[in-house]
Structure 1
Amino acid sequence: MTEIPGDAAAWRAYLSEYGAAFLRTAEDYQLRKLTAEQCETHWLGPGPASEQTIAATEARLGTRLPPSLRTFLSVTDGWYGVGGWIELVHPCREIDWLRNTASGERLIELYSEADRQDELADLFRNALMIAGGEDLWLLDPTDVRPDGEWAAHEFEPKYGEAERYADFSALFHASMLLMTEDG
């Protein structure tokens, strides 16, 4: 099993292995969304985002993205085949603050009710949504390590639970481990 990727070369190798694992474990409905080329090459994302595209995304969001996500985007501007209940790691143009989305507004309202006073409401107000499907992948800009990495969370709306990971790379890797465990 490949280790958690750090640099662009490691991400390229990792994603190729990840794509192969996804294809081995994918359901028919997931495979129907892929092209013949994607199935042949095991590459389930588009080309890299340019530095200008990443910088424009950061300008739109008003913050610098964490290093692991920046490096990922410099290799592929999004990724389709993700294990678990995530369908897509968003391309630059779709990465947004959760609070700016319809689902985010509903989550903030639900988790801010007086009788709940849930810590998830704070996460939802601040989080950057980077992937979605039935579940959500969120990055927390209020929980930052000295190296600039933000804590990552996988939120499962069905259960109202969020699992914390050290950063984007660790979250992505956990999805591979889960996928290969189940497959």
Structure 2
Amino acid sequence: MNSLLKQISEKAIALGDFEFTQEQTENKWLGTKPASEAEIKLTEKRLGIEFPTDFRQFLSITNGFSAPNDIEPTLESINKIDFLKNIDSYIIEAYSVDGIENIGKQLEQSIIVGGINQEQQFLLIPPNSTNEKWKYWKFANWHPGEEEHKNLESYFKEVLNFMKEQIESE
């Protein structure tokens, strides 16, 4: 995952779609210092969950990651991560209507790990039972519905591939 994040950082800086800090540009790195194991455990205790292994790995690499472009969310530092219902309950209400109430139920359980106060969010949805797996959603009102990813690595691979396509088309 570290390699993917480094490649995303390098491509984002090369594309120059966003203004990055001087430090990010010089280091070619959109991340921050890693979260400590104690910080991760404290957040898990606060939320009453245990993060999936790949998200814990992400946090041990970087405690937050700047948006590489205008269609991806910033992944938040651990102290900002919370249940979506505590951050923006209006989104849940908007998707809790007849016909799409299943999305509202998923949003009600979701943890927002990226995109607080942005046009798109990245959500982790804990499993309801031992047979289920964590869900990884990129969610935006301007995009019709949720965009589900198999895991965090598959999301980052998709971001990297999109950025490679952008570079090739320039």
**TM-score interval, smaller chain:** 0.7 to 0.9
- The whole-number CA distance in structure 1 between the counterparts of 2:138 and 2:40 is 23
The counterpart of 1:138, out of the listed 93, 116, 123, is: 123
1:91 shift after superposition: 0.7
What is the aligned counterpart of 1:58 among 44, 49, 53?
Answer: 44
Is the counterpart of residue 19 in structure 1 residue 9 in structure 2?
Answer: yes
Whether contact under 8 Å (1:144, 1:150) holds in the other structure is no
8 Å contact 2:127–2:133 — kept in the other structure?
Answer: no
- Is the 8 Å Cα contact of residues 17 and 42 (structure 1) preserved in structure 2? no
User: CA–CA distance in 2 between the matches of 1:79 and 1:96?
Assistant: 16
Gaps of 5+ in 1: 6-10
- Displaced runs of 4 or more, over 4 A: 143-146
Where do residues 24-173 of structure 1 align in structure 2 (5 Å cutoff)? 24-27=14-17, 30-31=18-19, 34-102=20-88, 105-113=89-97, 115-132=98-115, 133-142=118-127, 150-173=134-157
In structure 2, how many angstroms separate the alpha carbons of the residues matched to 1:85 and 1:145?
A: 33
Change (3 A) 1:15 1:65: same
Question: If each structure's strand is expressed as a fraction of its own residues, which one has the higher value?
Answer: 1
* Structure 1 contact 69–169 (Cα < 8 Å) conserved: no
Distance 1:15 1:41, change over 3 A: same
Give the counterpart letter for 1:137 in structure 2: F
Cα distance in structure 1, aligned partners of 2:69 and 2:128: 25
Change in Cα spacing, 1:83 to 1:170, as seen in structure 2 (3 Å) is farther
SS of corresponding position for 2:143? coil
Query: RMSD of the TM alignment (CA)?
Result: 2.1
**Greater shift in the superposed pair: 167-176 or 122-131:** 167-176
**Does structure 2 retain, via aligned residues, the 8 Å contact 1:86–1:134?**
no
**Counterpart Cα distance in 1 of 2:104 and 2:87:** 14
Q: How many residues align?
A: 165
| 8 Å Cα contact 1:131-1:138 kept in structure 2 | yes
Could you tell me whether the CA contact under 8 Å between 2:30 and 2:68 is conserved in 1?
Answer: no
Structure 2 unaligned spans of 5+: none
Structure 1 length as normaliser, TM-score? 0.81
